[in-house]
Amino acid sequence: MSGVPKTENSPTFVDAMLRLRRLSEGLPESARWRWMLFDEDLKSGVKYRNGSAGPTVSLGMPWLSAACSQRWLGSRLFFWPQGIPRRLRVSIVSSRLKQRLDEESWWFDLLRTATLRSDPTHDVLCAVAGTAAHRFVCRAAELFGRSVLEFHVDARDRAVSIDEISAWLVQSAGRVAWDSLAAVTESDLVAEPPVVESYAAGTHWSVFVSPPLTVLSNSANADSPAEEIQELSRQPINDRILFATGDRIQALRTRPGGVVQSLLMEHVQDSERRGSLVLLASDAVGQMPALTGESQGCVIPWLVISSSDDASIENNFPSRVRCVLPSGQSSTQQDLLATCTPLSHPEDWLLHWTRSTVGPWPDQAEQEFNDELILGCRSSDRSALATLLRIVIEGRLWASSEAIRGGFRVVSFTEVPLHEFRSRRTYRKHRRRYDFEPWGIAIRRDVLAAAGARPVEYGDEETWSTTTDASRPYFQNVGSGDGWTKEEREWRIPDHVQLNELPVSAVVVFVDSAESRLVVEKQTAWQVVVVPDACLAKT
């Protein structure tokens, strides 16, 4: 065994890898696996040369020296069931995104640009499960026919024994299947690792990453100082893998003081890693994250010009022909719209406020929503106005079981007057949203009551235990800590509310501004009113 990487723990690493190889002998095709000790073949001592065919187990990243690999990744094993692709690795890194992904249009513009500008035949996009960009990188690669190298990291942070590593390897091998015809022969294992010169665009490789291996140091003189390894280990291993993997790193977002910025500084100070260039993206107005003098050599500003097309929500919802009055209603009934509204007769109305939506619509698959984001579709808008317009166009209020004990699906209303909404608007920290939003649908109380709506019964655990099954959808625990009180004056109705089946005079839409009113009025025959300012509210 020639040329084994020299570190203080080399004998321990060699013993561990040899033992692990013996323990894996019962796995299918394991006799044909290649075993890499950092950047060298464990059996032949041949240096890694950009690719390996057939299943491979490596201690550390094969393209990094032992010292660099330990510094960035610790003592972890990587299982490459399909081999190691011979491609330029492009790591797409990012700080965390907002909860409202539809407000991240610039970020998705950058992702789309980075994906499309990658070479479909020579590049592979790198993604690590658990990082901010992971699911979007994988999906963008699929949409645009790019190859992806996807890492799956074991959730255990603690160091584990070689027996536990063996169990991990068995489990990982069981999660994948590979073409045995592509496996290398025994004679190949003593020569330079064979490589596949070209792969079809859109190839997907999986890599499994073990927990850290327990290594007992035999010397105080380490190639990588213990404190340096400890410093990097403070950052999530998932993000460290991206920085240690990429031949080129594209940073879509770098928050000051965040994980990505910290690892970026480590990258530019690392004599071995700084050779991999970093493309650091600007924000939507062309501002660059702050750079240090040390980073100027390997960090390149990445300026992308924003599209100038009109993204106004009015373009998302073209004007519709106004509806004919349903159920044969007369013009006299329509005249009631001007005389009886939630503002003029608040006691006659129940109000359902809406808000911006997080994620897919209730009846939409998550992948469809992600595709809207990645492709830059205007239909990805989830603002409060977009949500309200969707309700208006569909003619339906969707029932939900969120925060409803017993999992009952209901639509909630309040009898709090509309003119009090501005003063009552409250942020619910535990739900990360506001109550009494100035957007929604008002329905006449008598119409809802006839359809089965009832006031909520506020109570405690004792009340719940004595409530009949038929009444439980209307129960609210005021002692649950969710901020619910009798002041909410809530009503509920089981199941969806079909607005188009109600008399047109029984429905009013309320919005936040006169501008929004003009947009909504183009979509409906229902009357649209603006929620008054708090200073104009009734006393």
In tens, the pLDDT along 371-430 reads: 999 999 999 999 999 999 999 999 999 998 887 887 889 999 999 999 998 988 887 776
Chain mean position to CA 493:
33
Instruction: Say whether pLDDT at 329 is over 50.
Output: no
In tens, the pLDDT along 205-225 reads: 999 999 998 865 444 444 444
Instruction: Say whether pLDDT at 15 is over 50.
Output: yes
Average model confidence (pLDDT) for the chain?
82
Q: How far is it, in rounded angstroms, from Cα 444 to Cα 511?
A: 17
Structure tokens at 298: 């390997």
Provide the phi-psi class of 387: left if phi over 0, else alpha when psi is between -120 and 50, else beta.
alpha
Backbone angles phi, psi at 104, to 5 degrees: -105, 35
Residues 6+ apart with CB under 8 A from 257: none
Q: How far is it, in rounded angstroms, from Cα 473 to Cα 460?
A: 14
H/E segment holding residue 269: helix 259-269
Instruction: Say whether pLDDT at 246 is over 90.
Output: yes
In this structure, is the dihedral angle defined by the CA atoms of residues 377, 383, 385 and 391, taken in order, positive or negative? positive
Q: How far is it, in rounded angstroms, from Cα 521 to Cα 508?
A: 11
Are β-strands 123-128 and 88-94 bridged in parallel, bridged antiparallel, or unpaired? parallel
pLDDT at position 401: 85
- Residue 350 β-bridge partners: 443
- 289/348: higher pLDDT: 348
DSSP string, 350-399: EEEE--PPPSS-TTS-HHHHHHHHHHT-GGG--SHHHHHHHHHHHTEEPP
Q: How far is it, in rounded angstroms, from Cα 19 to Cα 424?
A: 67
Q: How far is it, in rounded angstroms, from Cα 194 to Cα 54?
A: 9
- 367/331: higher pLDDT: 367
Instruction: Say whether pLDDT at 129 is over 70.
Output: yes
In tens, the pLDDT along 300-317 reads: 999 887 765 555 566 565
3-state secondary structure (DSSP) of residue 21: helix
Q: Which of 285-294, 325-334, 468-477, 517-526 has the lowest mean pLDDT?
A: 325-334
With vertex at residue 478, the alpha carbon angle to CA 473 and CA 483, rounded to the nearest 5 degrees, is: 105
In tens, the pLDDT along 477-486 reads: 876 555 556 6
Q: How far is it, in rounded angstroms, from Cα 342 to Cα 505?
A: 12
Q: How far is it, in rounded angstroms, from Cα 83 to Cα 86?
A: 9
Q: How far is it, in rounded angstroms, from Cα 319 to Cα 520?
A: 9
State mean pLDDT over 455-471: 82
pLDDT at position 434: 77
Instruction: Say whether pLDDT at 143 is over 70.
Output: yes
246 touches 89 (CB < 8 A):
yes
- 116/232: higher pLDDT: 116
Strand blocks (E) in 396-524: 396-397, 410-414, 426-428, 433-435, 440-444, 454-455, 457-459, 475-477, 490-494, 497-498, 507-511
State mean pLDDT over 339-359: 92
Query: What predicted TM-score, i.e. pTM, was given to this entire model?
Result: 0.82
pLDDT at position 460: 78
pLDDT at position 325: 41
Residues 6+ apart with CB under 8 A from 120: 145, 146, 147, 201, 202
Q: Which of 2-6, 118-122, 468-472 has the lowest mean pLDDT?
A: 2-6
